[in-house]
Amino acid sequence: SQKIEQNSEALNIQEGKTATLTCNYTNYSPAYLQWYRQDPGRGPVFLLLIRENEKEKRKERLKVTFDTTLKQSLFHITASQPADSATYLCALLGARQLTFGSGTQLTVLP
Amino acid sequence: GAVVSQHPSWVICKSGTSVKIECRSLDFQATTMFWYRQFPKQSLMLMATSNEGSKATYEQGVEKDKFLINHASLTLSTLTVTSAHPEDSSFYICSARDWDRGLSQETQYFGPGTRLLVL
């Protein structure tokens, strides 16, 4: 069966450090992978999309890598700030629907 | 990016009553909208795909007679939770896809969610 796993339910890091979140998938052949941010009581907000033929994508302090051999995506936030504290979700587009991982709750400590 | 709104943002109702949630695409037209449900500490689970002018497509395990979906126009879809019970208490989120010119890709945008509490 298809699975999307985000290995850490929660991650605490110190302000200024780089946060690295992992997303692994099985039984998918995605054309692209997406990362979303979700704050408590709010809907997900789109952050980045990376295609299967792209190794890396950057946007300001965010960086995403995509390894289709390992079936893994890494999501990095550099120079992290307390305002980056949120739950981060990876998502894959299957046959017709977007399926989400369970998310990693990131807390950036001041 | 495109904006999706939902109304109400939260609702409390008595068991046995029906609740309607509206989802609107504010600056784009969406022939397809999606309804998700999210329980605490869990990820979003797709309930159904709403198609403008036709019947919704429900995911396995989702009762179509309990969760009525109407996609009456290209900017409005509604989800009605009929005869709501406490176990229906959850966070309901709608979504729609729009073409993102910068990405040259269709991107899925989400509404702010509706918190439903059934007493």
Mean pLDDT of the region B43-51:
91
Average pLDDT score over residue span A11-18: 96
Average pLDDT, chain B: 92
Q: Is A103 within 8 Å of B43 when comparing Cβ atoms? A: yes
CA distances from B59 to A48, A61, B52 (A): 27, 37, 17
Is residue B69 a contact partner of residue B77, using CB atoms and an 8 Å limit?
yes
Contact state of B113 with A89 under an 8 Å Cβ cutoff: no
Query: A3: pLDDT confidence band, cut at 50, 70 and 90?
Result: confident
* Contact present, B50 and B35 (Cβ < 8 Å): yes
B29-55 mean pLDDT: 90
Contacts of B33 in chain A (CB under 8 A): none
Q: Given CA atoms B17, B36, A105, A3 in this order, what sign does their dihedral have?
A: positive
Q: Three-state SS for B88?
A: helix
Tell me the per-residue pLDDT of A38-59, one tens digit each, with 9 for 90 and over: 999 999 999 999 988 898 999 9
Q: What is the pLDDT of residue B2?
A: 84
Please give the Cα distance from B75 to B24 (Å, whole number). Answer: 5
A1 shares contact with chain B (CB less than 8 Å):
no
pLDDT digits (tens, 9 = 90+) for A55-108: 899 999 999 999 989 999 999 999 999 999 999 999 998 767 788 999 999 999
Rounded Cα distance, A39 and B6, in Å: 16
Contact A21, A47 (CB under 8 A): no
**Rounded to whole angstroms, how far apart are CA atoms A103 and B75?**
29
For residue B6, the chain A residues in CB contact (below 8 A) are: 43
What is the reported pLDDT for A95? 67
Q: Given this model, what pLDDT does residue B104 score? A: 72
Q: How far apart are CA A83 and CA B82, in angstroms?
A: 39
The pLDDT of residue B94: 97
- Residues of A within 8 A of B42 (CB-CB) are 102
Cβ within 8 Å, pair B105-A46: no
CA distance A30 to A10: 26
DSSP B83: S
A44·B44 Cβ contact <8 A: yes
A105, A18 Cβ separation under 8 angstroms: no
Residue B41, pLDDT above cutoff 90: no
DSSP B38-80: E-TTS--EEEEEEETTS--EEPTT--TTTEEEEEEETTEEEEE
- As a whole number of angstroms, the distance between CA A101 and CA A91 comes to 6
Q: Which residue has the tokens 């309990």?
A: B66
pLDDT by residue (tens digit) across B80-115? 999 999 999 999 999 998 877 777 777 889 999 999
Residue A29 makes CB contacts below 8 A (sequence gap 6+) with: none
> Is the minimum CB–CB distance between B103 and chain A shorter than 8 Å?
yes
Helices (H), chain A: none
Check residue A8 and give its pLDDT.
Answer: 76
